[in-house]
Amino acid sequence: MASSMIVAGLGLATVGFAGRYLLRAMPGAAKQFNEAIKNLPKMDANSRYYRGGFETKMSRREASLVLGVSPSANAKRIKDAHKRIMLLNHPDRGGSPYLAAKINEAKDVIESGKA
């Protein structure tokens, strides 16, 4: 146990010294690295997800986002997307009743615009 910790520590030290050597060997690399870090986009905790929650009255745009289809998708694609999402979020399978209601509402909104 102790020997594996020593080996891991030596490995980390080796990586650190190798990185330090490379940065010193290439003088412009450190400056480029620092500029690249500064130019990275600012990320918050929920940056991967759609911001904003649900609108009070669901629009066609929001309905298409919920189902993951185009607002002009055909009836079969809407039905398939609804079925796929409901299988994952159905309350009988541990899903949220609120999300299931929103998924059904999204299907109704998109289908009502097709008529």
Q: What is the CATH number of the domain that holds 96?
A: 1.10.287.110
Q: Is residue 80 part of a domain?
A: yes
Q: Is there a single domain that holds both residue 33 and residue 73? A: no
pTM flag (> 0.85): no
Q: Is there a single domain that holds both residue 102 and residue 66? A: yes
Query: What's residue 70's pLDDT?
Result: 86
Q: Is residue 22 part of a domain?
A: yes
Q: Is there a single domain that holds both residue 34 and residue 64? A: no
Q: Is there a single domain that holds both residue 77 and residue 108? A: yes
5 pLDDT more than 70: yes
Q: Any idea which of 5-14, 19-28, 85-94 has the lowest mean pLDDT? A: 19-28
Q: How confident is the prediction for the chain on average, in pLDDT?
A: 82
Q: Is there a single domain that holds both residue 74 and residue 33? A: no
Tell me the per-residue pLDDT of 27-42, one tens digit each, with 9 for 90 and over. Answer: 777 677 777 777 766 6
What range does the domain containing 30 cover?
2-38
Q: Is residue 44 part of a domain?
A: no
pLDDT category of residue 59 using cuts at 50, 70 and 90: confident
What does DSSP assign to residue 72?
T
> Is residue 95 within a helix (H) or strand (E), and if so which, with residue range?
none
Q: Is residue 47 part of a domain?
A: no
Q: Is residue 95 part of a domain?
A: yes
Distance from C-alpha of 75 to C-alpha of 115, rounded to nearest angstrom: 11
User: Based on the structure, what is the number of domains in the chain?
Assistant: 2
Burial of 19 (0-12, 13-18, 19+ CB in 10 A): exposed
Mean pLDDT of 82-98: 91
Q: Is there a single domain that holds both residue 104 and residue 64? A: yes
